[in-house]
Amino acid sequence: MEAVVVVTRLCGQIADVTGATQETQAQLAAAAADARHWLEQQTEVRRSLFADLDAAVATGHTQQVRALLTRVNATASHDRTEEENRVVGAAADHVASVASAAAERVHALLEDLRRLPRDVAAYLLRPRVQQLIQAAAEAGGLGPRQEAQIAAWKARAGLNKPAPVQTAAPRASVEQPRRRPQLHKQVARRHWMKTSCPRCRVGSGQECVVDDGSRSRQVRHVPHDERLQPIIDERRERQRNQPKPPPPWRVYEVTCPDCGQGADARCTTPGGPHRSRVERAKEFTRLRKPRPEPDAEA
């Protein structure tokens, strides 16, 4: 990142300043301290970025690898260490390998489509053409001949038609009242009569009756809304109060079962973290295992 280079150079220039007054020296020292603190923060951001890229390669998340690799090349292309160059090289090899396999898949799919009868129905073509489109996206840049072939197959399968434009319905001159939601469709039938009805006063286990002021006590087909609304409100309250799941464990937060490297320490292998370490992080996430206290081993 260019800003890091500039701030580093500035710190060196401040250190070389001589002959300044005591007040100026104090101001320069404060500015240098702030700059060094900012550089430390950027170093941690950079370390985390390369660690995320290394873990994404190890777990085979190609889309994440591509995004992180683009970010690394844009923000951390200067003064890379040997380890950082290894991570970037592994990520670039992974992306190239996936793109090469996808390009071969594009070629194979195009060959398969050419062998189909000319009068094959569009609905039979669509699944194969959708696979072709996905493989082309993973392959990245293709030649103009293949791009033209893909476009032709999309047209034959009816996949390049624009979505119909939905026009707004003409607004009525008089605002229509909104229909109330049908609460009985939001509550399972087995729960309808678990409580008494505050409107028609029937007890739990009894069906609601028509509340029209008469004494007919005619049974209603569905309960009153006043009987169902508290059930819905209670359900929503439970959903709101459910604790949020903890964030997923990262690979370097757990101890490696193979090489014994602890949290924040890289595995001893040159190819990134051991597979067992990746699986352990996934298992801790699945079990929602709490993170250890500071200085405790995961």
pLDDT bucket at 297, cuts 50 / 70 / 90? very low
> In whole angstroms, how far apart are CA 177 and each of 103, 172, 271?
56, 11, 65
Kind and range of the H or E element at 88? helix 82-114
| Dist CA 55 CA 294 (whole Å) | 22
pLDDT at 175: 53
Q: Which residues contact 65 (CB under 8 A, 6 or more apart)?
A: 53, 56, 57, 91, 94, 95
Q: Which residues of 6-28 are buried (b: 16+ CB within 10 A; e: fewer)?
A: ebbeebeebeeeeeeeeeeeeee
Q: Which pLDDT belongs to residue 291?
A: 80
Residue type, 114: R
pLDDT band at 11 (very low <50, low <70, confident <90, very high): low
| More confident call, 73 vs 179 | 73
The residues near 4 (Cβ < 8 Å, ≥ 6 apart) are 39, 42, 78
> Is the distance from CB of 224 to CB of 199 less than 8 angstroms?
yes
Is-contact 186 152, C-beta < 8 A? no
Tell which residue, 225, 289, 226, 227, has the closest CA to residue 254.
289
Would you say residue 18 has pLDDT above 70?
Answer: no
Which one of 81-85, 164-168, 173-177 scores highest in mean pLDDT? 81-85
Q: 195 Cβ partners below 8 Å, 6+ apart?
A: 204, 227, 230, 231
**The pLDDT of residue 296:** 45
CA distances from 251 to 76, 272, 290 (A): 22, 10, 15
Query: CA 249, 251, 254: angle at the middle one, nearest 5?
Result: 75
Which residue type occupies 47? R
Predicted pLDDT of residue 179? 64
Q: According to the model, what pLDDT value does residue 298 have?
A: 44
| pLDDT at 295 > cutoff 70 | no
Cα 24 to chain center, whole Å? 49
Average pLDDT over residues 251-271: 86
pLDDT of residue 71: 83
Tens of pLDDT, residue by residue over 171-209, are 554 555 566 668 888 888 888 888 899 888 889 889 999
pLDDT of residue 59 exceeding 60, the answer is yes
Q: Comparing 294 with 33, which gets the higher pLDDT?
A: 33
pLDDT above 90 covers a percentage of the chain that reads 1
